[in-house]
Amino acid sequence: MKIAVFNCRPDERGLFEFYKQKYNIELAVTSETPTFENCSFVKGCQAVSIITTPVNRDLLQAWKEEGIQAVSTRTVGYDHINLEAAEELGIPVSNVSYTPHTVAEYTVMAILMTIRRMKTILTRYQVQDYSLTDVRGKELRNMTVGVVGTGKIGEQVIRNLSGFGCRILAHDPFPKDSLQGTVHYTNLEELWRECDILTFHTPASRETCHMVNHDTLRQMKKGVILINMARGSLIDTAALIEALDQGIVSAAALDVLEHESGIYYQDYKYAAVNHHDMAVLKTMPNVLMTPHTAFFTDEAVSDMIRCSIESCMAEVQGETDPGRIG
């Protein structure tokens, strides 16, 4: 069988080669983003492996006409795929499952960097300013952390944080028995009211879109710290900027941002970036921003490629696909 691989990065090439040989399959690999215009790239393939770029109905239809039987995204999130259209066209879609430690560790790093004002310390160090003005931090053990979403990543964040001695509250529509005793589950209102730090680990959906907005920000503890390593759409960015200006939010760490698609993972060193909110947030010393890199470890990338190939193979060979989402 043959799989069309889109948006293949140089660091993924060796792993694709490894799994191609291991599973004795063929691959058509490109660094290009899938578009309607390049849909003929998939000719001769039975499945497609993609990342976070949008896949709409027209593209799915075109792939179907080229003979595609399955689509796998090498990501956990799948909000970029029109699942309804895929279902109507009879194309199964799968996501991957990779080590939750990668994002969980990055989250803890972001929390610590934020409460220790690391952006300011590092920026100052570059210009030989070794003064202590405005860089005094706080200890995590004296803080209350709220974890929104206790799926695999949220659960691991809780486990990692539990060694720091902080109080941990959590919210999830499906509380986990395995976390009883480690975390106190409560409603969002209590989380907004009680927490010094809020970290978000929920998927992007209609329900979670802008869950941090003018109204919810007003309910949060003054000086709250927000950590978003999940999806940009969870936070109304304009409302966040206003809350940062007003001191309602004292700091934020954002690995994701609304409308990041087409910007992150590209080199804009010598080009203008047309993203007003990003430009504003970037200038703030209390906002730590990274380009959606929380997932990026050797272990996770290997898991992503293996899972994606295994899903494509299972779907095309009519076997049970553990990654099937729709």
Catalytic residues: 231, 260, 292
Minimum separation from the CB atom of position 156 to ligand COI (A): 14
Q: Which is nearer to ligand COI, 8 or 217 (CB)?
A: 8
Minimum separation from the CB atom of position 76 to ligand COI (A): 4
- Of 77, 151, 175, 285, the one binding ligand COI (CB under 6 A) is 77
Tokens of 195: 């927490």
Minimum separation from the CB atom of position 48 to ligand COI (A): 16
Q: Which is nearer to ligand COI, 9 or 43 (CB)?
A: 9
Contacts of 288 (CB under 8 A, 6+ apart): 110, 113, 114, 118, 119, 251, 252, 253, 254
- Rounded to an integer, what is the distance from CA 107 to the centroid of its chain? 11
Tokens of 164: 């720091």
Q: Restricting to residues 35-74, name those near ligand COI by CB under 6 A.
A: 51-52
Question: Is residue 235 close enough to count as binding ligand COI by CB under 6 A?
Answer: no
Q: Which is nearer to ligand COI, 10 or 318 (CB)?
A: 10
Q: Restricting to residues 237-296, name those near ligand COI by CB under 6 A.
A: 292, 295
Distances from the Cα of 124 to the Cαs of 131, 135, 287, 323, in angstroms? Answer: 8, 10, 15, 45
Q: Which is nearer to ligand COI, 54 or 77 (CB)?
A: 77
Helices (H), ranges, 40-197: 57-65, 83-89, 101-115, 118-126, 152-161, 188-194
Q: Is 63 exposed, middle or buried (0-12, 13-18, 19+ CB in 10 A)?
A: buried
**Which residues share a beta bridge with 185?**
170
Helices 298-316, 10-23: inter-axial angle, 10-degree rounding:
40
Write the DSSP string, 190-229.
HHHHH-SEEEE-----TTTTTSBSHHHHHHSPTTEEEEE-
How many residues lie near ligand COI (CB under 6 A)? 7
Minimum separation from the CB atom of position 138 to ligand COI (A): 29
Identify the H or E element spanning 306: helix 298-316
Q: Which is nearer to ligand COI, 256 or 314 (CB)?
A: 256
Residue at 272: amino acid letter? A
Minimum separation from the CB atom of position 197 to ligand COI (A): 21
Minimum separation from the CB atom of position 51 to ligand COI (A): 5
- Of 3, 47, 76, 316, the one binding ligand COI (CB under 6 A) is 76
Q: Which is nearer to ligand COI, 169 or 212 (CB)?
A: 212
Q: Which is nearer to ligand COI, 151 or 285 (CB)?
A: 151
Three-state secondary-structure class, residue 76: coil
Contacts of 204 (CB under 8 A, 6+ apart): 77, 79, 230, 231, 233, 234
Minimum separation from the CB atom of position 52 to ligand COI (A): 5
Tokens of 78: 């799948």
Q: Restricting to residues 286-325, name those near ligand COI by CB under 6 A.
A: 292, 295
- Of 46, 69, 75, 114, the one binding ligand COI (CB under 6 A) is 75
Residues that bind ligand COI (CB under 6 A): 51-52, 75-77, 292, 295
